[in-house]
Amino acid sequence: MRASLRLGFALLLLALPTAAEQRLPVPLADNPRPVYPEIAFEKSIDGGVKFIAVVDVEGRVERLDIVEVPHDGVGFEEAVRVAVSAWRFEPALREGEPVAASYRGIINFVATHADHAGRMYPVSSSVLWTELRAVLRELGLSARTRDKKNGVLITRSKSIGRRTLPGFQPPDGSLVLLESELHVFVPPWAEPGRLYLGSMNVTENRQSGRAGRGFTYNLGAVESWLLDRLDQHLGVRGRLIPRNAPARLRLANELQPGSVPEACLQRVGTAQTGPDLSLPETIESSRIDPLYPASGAASRQTARIIVGTQIQEDGWAGRLEVVRSDSRNPEFGVSAIHTVSFWRYRPAVSNGCPVPVDFTVFVQFKMR
């Protein structure tokens, strides 16, 4: 799962003027963005890095001081130093002449789910569901499972290619995508509208021919293609969904002010325990059976895998990992993680507020 994750961050750049300067340094639009530190992402650490850059008369960074980082020792300081040292500015002006001046800035890092996993939109969940279905019909993708009450839709398996789905760009490399079914989730209890996607794909290894045919989960190419078509249809680009609940809810209120009550915002980040906490419930229409790995099916092995996850306040399962396995074959664990990634949930509720909770899921592999 880790290889499928991508990183995202938002930038907030602040320059504080002085009385002697008529214009402060202005960073150019094509300056490189800092790379989100891998250690920070793995630990789900968000936050802002404050810095002061001394910009010379030619708009180059002469000196850079890191003033504040959200967490020490996870790479934020180095990431900002590498990126901002290479920035170029329109230099400060005093009485129309370029002068050296200091520039104070903040770069906010916000870890997001993979760009093909889903997006949040400035429309209601009901509008998003309706418009998404319109896009699916335009693309000739019909539903084999449709559960509007819980926001779950699974398309029928569809041949994939430029002829059957014009505009689709197949994945690069030796892997050929033959058929795909999309697993769609638009949680009706979460506002504004957000869309989560997964796909089960029949693929073929171009180098090995039919012998290499099999299933590939969450390939990303079909999901990204559908999301881009939806963005075009809505006339607005969906925002990547943050991994951490506080950032996720801040984004929700940015796209639709007041969509998250203040009382629920205050509960985010607190320990979710006690008799008032109701646990997540699996949405049966989303449940798929685990696929046996080829090596396990051939020997008719059985396995029981315990998967740890966090069920978000909108019902999506994130941060999946194998907690325990009674099989020495690691492929069972991989299949179990992919299986749970397709299951959707009615979220946990505490004092009337949907809340994210850590959750344990059991996946049983047993030949019938």
What's this model's pTM, rounded to 2 decimal places?
Answer: 0.85
Q: What count of other Cβ atoms lies within 10 Å of the Cβ of residue 163? A: 8
Residues 148 and 233 in one domain: yes
Residues 234 and 283 in one domain: no
pLDDT of residue 273: 66
Dump pLDDT digits (tens) for 187-244: 999 999 999 999 999 888 776 555 567 788 888 999 999 999 999 999 999 999 999 9
Instruction: Decide: residue 264, CB within 10 A, 0-12 exposed, 13-18 middle, 19+ buried.
Output: middle
Dump pLDDT digits (tens) for 166-184: 888 887 777 788 899 999 9
Domain total for the chain? Answer: 3
DSSP code of 81? Answer: H
Final residue of a domain: which of 211, 227, 260?
A: 260
pLDDT of residue 293: 83
pLDDT of residue 200: 93
pLDDT of residue 3: 35
- What is d(CA 168, CA 161) in angstroms, rounded to the nearest whole number? 7
Residues 137 and 238 in one domain: yes
Residue 44's identity, in one-letter code, is: S
Residues 64 and 149 in one domain: no
Helices marked H in 208-365 — which ranges? 221-234, 245-255, 262-267, 294-298, 330-341
Residue 308, token pair as written in the block:
């740890």
Q: Of residues 160 and 103, which shows the higher confidence score?
A: 103
Peptide bond into 171 cis (omega under 30): no
Final residue of a domain: which of 45, 78, 109?
A: 109
Dump pLDDT digits (tens) for 240-299: 999 999 999 999 999 999 999 888 887 776 556 667 889 999 999 999 999 888 776 667
Asked if residue 68 lies in contact with residue 47, where contact means CB atoms within 8 angstroms, the answer is no
In which element (H, E) is residue 23 found? none
pLDDT of residue 271: 57
Query: C-alpha angle with apex 324: 200 to 216, nearest 5 degrees?
Result: 15
- What is d(CA 238, CA 253) in angstroms, rounded to the nearest whole number? 14
Asked if residue 130 lies in contact with residue 233, where contact means CB atoms within 8 angstroms, the answer is no
What's the whole-number average pLDDT of the chain? 88
Q: What range does the domain containing 204 cover?
A: 115-260
Is 253 contained in some domain?
Answer: yes
Residues 50 and 97 in one domain: yes
pLDDT of residue 21: 52
> Mean pLDDT throughout 105-128?
95
Dump pLDDT digits (tens) for 295-352: 766 677 889 999 999 999 999 998 899 999 998 899 999 999 999 999 999 999 988 8
CATH number of the domain within which 161 lies: 3.30.530.50
Q: Of residues 132 and 301, which shows the higher confidence score?
A: 132
